Every structure is written in structure tokens, then in C-alpha cells.
Chains A and B, each alone.
Chain A
């Protein structure tokens, strides 16, 4: 047993992979609480696909700047989605569908046309532990630290805005600024976890740990803690299983998350199901306007 755990640690690539997977799981689990409670799971899904477009484009033209390129692309998409959803008569779901799938399609087109649809392509889609660079680790650590600091210092404003934006605004919270901050944190989180979890699977890791945590507690503070720990545990376990099963890391991390979800669903019983049942009631990210 111990040997099973220790053996892959002999490889530098696995050490890096394990660190990155654990941190990624924690980061997505942490930020996912806000995303899930705001009914924005679909935005997470859409944004990861949108960022793929930016990733593909910068891979072709200036691969070393892919973090910058995809990051700007992601933040621009996030702003485009919220603006379209808020200003126009197009529903938020439709706006996300158009903006992000178009960006994803562009990414696929760029990859297939200009040839690099090898490992880089699969890695971006499903995640990989191979070829993690030190700069990727640095970016991930930086975003984890930044997200932690932002939530630490703006904890109540983020909570108030998520729970009741109208009253938060009436109480002097700069709601639009807090929402923009959240979208930037989400974009950055997706960006730095993209290569390890994979574009198509990032959304799952935003949602699964948060839903598991919701089933286990009625307190917001505890939900944040449980979701973060669950996410990092899924990352850690998923990485080991990925090594032994020879399956892409993102795939295995998500599968571990799904198994934990089923187990918690079983043991938390009726109460857990009732707690999780309300999560999709606010699938509309636009601010509620009561006449």
C-alpha cells in the first residue's frame, strides 16, 4: 500500500502533477461554491470552452504567452457574457451558448487547420500530467494565493452579493464590482487549471465538490471549507488513479469526484438531497429586479 503511494513519487513529473492536481482541485472547489450558489454552473462550463479558443490561438502564434492570451480571452468572454445577459433581451443561457461555443469552435478549427492537434490538443481537452512546466506551477500558486486573499478580505461582501444582491447594494456593497471580481477570479482559475483538468472537465470540478459540500452542511463557511478539501482530495486521488490506470488526469479526477458524490448522496440521505435540490433554482445570473 505504502509502496503504491510512494512509487510514482520517484518521478519528477508525477510530483509536479500531484502538486498541481491537488492545488487545482482545491482552487476549483473553493471558487465553485460561489459559482454553484449563484446558479452559474453553466457559465463555468461555457467559460472553459471560451478560454480554449484563446488558448488555441496563442498556442499557434506565441505559445510562450498562452497564459496571457487565453487569460485575456477568458476575461473578455466573461465580460461579454455578463454584459449580453444584463443589457439585452437575450437570455443568459443563450448568450453563453453563443459566445462560448463559437470561441470553442474557433479553437478546434485553429488546432485542426494548423496541425498541432497532437498531444497539445488532447491535453487541453482532457488534461494531462505530462509536460507541466515550472511556470505553470507558479501561475497556479499565484492564482490560488490571489483568490484566497481576495476572498479573505472581501468575504462578507462576496457572501452578501451571492445571497441577496439587492439588499447588498442597498447596504453599500459595490455589487457590480464584486461580481466583476468574481468573474475575473473564475476566469483565472479556469485558465491555470486548464491543462491539468482539461477544458471539457473543468466545469465538473467547479460543480462536484461544491454540491458535495452543500449536501453535508447548511453553513456557508463550512461549505467553503468542505468544498475546498473535497476538491483537493479528488485531485490527489485522481492523480494516483490516473497514473496506474493510464487515463488522462482530468478524466480520473472527475470520476473520483463523481464517486464521492454518489457516496455522499447515499449517506446524507433525504436531508442531503433536499439541501442540494434548491441549487438550480437560480439559474438566471441576471440581478433580480422586483417591480
Chain B
């Protein structure tokens, strides 16, 4: 551990599937104040890196250290689940409370003793209702998950993650497949959560809509290309190494805006 605040520490990690190594030699710290975006093209290893952080993928080389009893929550890409599966929004959110003893000792919702039976306790129902209200989808609790729009499905997954009272929230492409308003809302919500002390790491390939608004970026293309603020890493040189394409960077209202010259010319 490099610092007592460090929640997850990756040391020279390489990871992949079978004999293929997708990401090489990643050294990375996630601490309580982290609000970072992992940026890179498709196939760059963004999801692989997330799986290492989640500990669902064992690294091929290097070490992963987590602070003890760390509570991690994960919001997957929308297309990874079967939306025809028979669960209501309420049932889905409560899945986040499968391992129920993990609540923070200070929190009144999660502190209630572990109860083995299937139905939710009144405290769990209250916690779920509060989150759905905060995310603006409380009227959808008894709906089937397929009846939701993409933005509402994303909010439901966020509620399922947050009902775990996580210290670290990991999100895989949280704004792909959702409209501009939802993207805006998700960004604001994540900023609020960050202010409340939740460490946040997300993947994105959306430079202008997402990455430029985050305080910290990790650019990867099978290895870490650059790390820093958007001003530091959204530069033509870094972007060319990350995306393998020549991209122009303009300044607009104090923020970098990436323009694909090749595509503009076409």
C-alpha cells in the first residue's frame, strides 16, 4: 500500500483471457478521493482493467492489493444482461443487498442484523425507495425491467450498486446508449457521490461528452499511455498514441474539445 487512503492498488499488473494479454504493466492507485475515467478505443482493455479492479479477473502478472473489507459496487454495460428476465425494478435493486452483512457500521439502513429470509426488511425497502427517489425513478418500482428506457435502466443499475453503500463505484461505459439529458444527470450524480466520499472509476470512449468533464483521466491502449487532468492528457500527442488517429484539440469555454480532422474532411 502506498498510502493509508489507498483502497485498491495495482502493481505492474498484466491481465487478459487465456493466453492473450489484453493490458500490460498497469500500476494504479484508487483512493478515497479518486474520480477517474479510463479512456481508450474498443479493445484497449478498459473492461479488462475494470474486472481486475473488481477482482473478478485474476491478473496474469503483478499484484492487486485491496484495503480489507472493501465495499465495491459495479454498474455494467446495459447490453450485458437479458432484459427479458422476469424481475421487476424493485427486485433488481435489492439484488445489490445479496451479501447483507456488508453495511457500514455507521449507517442506519445497513446496520440491521443479517436476516436470512428472501423478502426485504423494512430498512432495505426504505433504502431502495430512497435511492429510486433520488434517481427519479420511484414510480417504476413494480415495473418489469424491459419496460424502462435506456436511461432508466442505467439509473436502476446505479440504484442496485448504491444500495450496497459502496466505498468504490466502478462503471463500464455508463453513458453509452443513453440520451444527452441522462448523460448529464449521471455526471452530476457521480459528482455528488464523489463529494460524499465515494471513489469513482468509469470507462468511456466518449471524449467530449464524458472524459473532458472528469477531474482525472487514465488513457490506455493495452498499456497506460498517459495519466492526468483532461487539460494534461487531452492533447494531440496522447490521443494519437491512445486512439491511433490524428485528432485536433480545440479549447471551448476552458475545456478541451476533440475534433476528428480525418472525419471532418471526409
Contact = CB atoms under 8 A, between A and B. Distances in A.
Interface of A: 37, 151-153, 155-157, 159-160, 162-164, 166-173, 214, 217-221, 223, 275, 277-279, 281-282, 288-291
A86 to B, nearest CB: 12
15 contacts: A153-B116, A160-B95, A163-B95, A166-B56, A166-B76, A170-B54, A171-B72, A171-B96, A218-B144, A219-B86, A219-B91, A220-B85, A221-B91, A278-B84, A291-B43
B72 to A, nearest CB: 7
Tell me the dominant secondary structure on chain A's binding face: helix
B155 to A, nearest CB: 16
A22 B35 CA distance: 56
Interface string B71-84: 01110110011111
B95 A159 contact: yes
A242 to B, nearest CB: 31
Interface of B: 17, 22, 43, 47-48, 54-56, 72-74, 76-77, 80-88, 91-92, 94-99, 102, 116-118, 144, 146, 160, 164, 170
A291 B95 contact: no
Given A152-B118, A156-B118, A171 B80 contact: no
B22 A220 contact: no
A170 B169 CA distance: 11
B79 to A, nearest CB: 9
Given A171-B73, A218-B86, A220-B91, A289 B17 contact: yes
A275 B77 CA distance: 23
Contacts of B74: 167, 170-171
A163 B89 CA distance: 13
Given A163-B92, A219-B144, 5 more contacts: A37-B85, A152-B117, A164-B76, A167-B160, A168-B98
A217 B144 CA distance: 9
